[in-house]
């Protein structure tokens, strides 16, 4: 890996480290969202603790963090676009951003689960499969009202889309898609327990008028 690519890799980590939920919560509401709700510095917990006005910008910025971290690949001039090394570099930048979100240097390494950032990453690398996974997420969320369940099933669906529907010649991308499914399940262990116990919080996209 060239020096410029190492610098870009560090840049991707720093982009991912922007603690959107923490900063918006502290500067606009005087609240550290990590001390409330699920304790995660992510969009879902921000929606839960601070509401839509805070949750929507956190969600959008966290998605863009992953997307623009991957797009740092445009600043390298070694690999041809869409070549296997090019895709590998995209994935490396995406993983760096994801680690930044989960372990942000700007927030004492206490971040979120990275689902929104992960969505931005896969949209940048393979938008067709990402869009299909997003549809799965929305369908599950609308039917079940569980963000966690939607996230997990979308994560599981992603490698299926990558390997069997929107096929790719990149073995690293295939492996990455499988790792995503495992990572989503691992980071949602508490949610799985709450779902089994029936104590998981529901999210209503459209609130009923009283």
Handedness of CA 13, 16, 21, 24 (dihedral sign): positive
Q: For the whole model, what pTM was predicted?
A: 0.84
Separation CA 155–CA 97 (nearest Å): 18
Residue range 91-119: mean pLDDT, rounded: 92
Q: Tell me, yes or no, whether 85 and 166 share the same domain.
A: no
3-state secondary structure 54-119: HHHHHHHHHHHHHHHHHHHHHHCCCCCCCCHHHHHHHHHHHHHHHHHHHCCHHHCCCCCCCHHHHH
Which residue from 139, 150, 140, 209 is spatially nearest to 184, judged by alpha carbons? 150
Q: Are residues 109 and 175 in the same domain?
A: no
Q: Which of 114, 149, 182 is the last residue of a domain?
A: 114
> pLDDT, tens digit, for every residue of 186-195?
888 888 999 9
Residue 47 sits in which domain range?
1-114
Cα→Cα distances 176→36, 42, 53, 60, 203, Å: 32, 22, 33, 23, 29
The pLDDT tens digits of the residues spanning 47-59 come to: 989 999 999 999 9
**Pair 107, 204 in one domain:** no
> What pLDDT digit, counting tens, does each position of 67-82 carry?
999 999 999 878 888 8
pLDDT band at 210 (very low <50, low <70, confident <90, very high): very low
């Amino acid at each position: 890996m060239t020096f410029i690519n190492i610098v870009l890799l560090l840049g991707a980590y720093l982009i991912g480290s922007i603690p959107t939920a923490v900063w918006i919560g502290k500067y606009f509401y005087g609240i550290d969202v990590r001390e409330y709700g699920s304790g995660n510095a992510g969009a879902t917990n921000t929606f839960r603790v601070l509401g839509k006005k805070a949750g929507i910008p956190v969600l959008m910025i966290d998605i863009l963090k992953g997307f623009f971290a991957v797009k740092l690949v445009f600043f390298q001039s070694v690999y041809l676009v869409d070549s296997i090394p090019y895709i590998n570099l995209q994935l490396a930048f995406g993983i760096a951003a994801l680690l930044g979100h989960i372990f942000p240097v700007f927030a004492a390494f206490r971040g979120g689960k990275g689902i929104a950032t992960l969505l931005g990453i896969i949209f940048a690398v393979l938008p067709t499969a990402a869009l299909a996974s997003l549809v799965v997420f929305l369908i599950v969320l609308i039917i079940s009202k569980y963000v966690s369940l939607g996230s997990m099933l979308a994560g599981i669906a992603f490698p299926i889309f990558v390997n069997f529907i929107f096929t790719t010649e990149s073995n690293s991308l295939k492996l990455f898609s499988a790792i995503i499914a495992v990572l989503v399940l691992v980071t949602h262990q508490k949610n799985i327990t709450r779902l089994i116990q029936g104590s998981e919080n529901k999210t209503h996209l459209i609130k009923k008028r009283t």
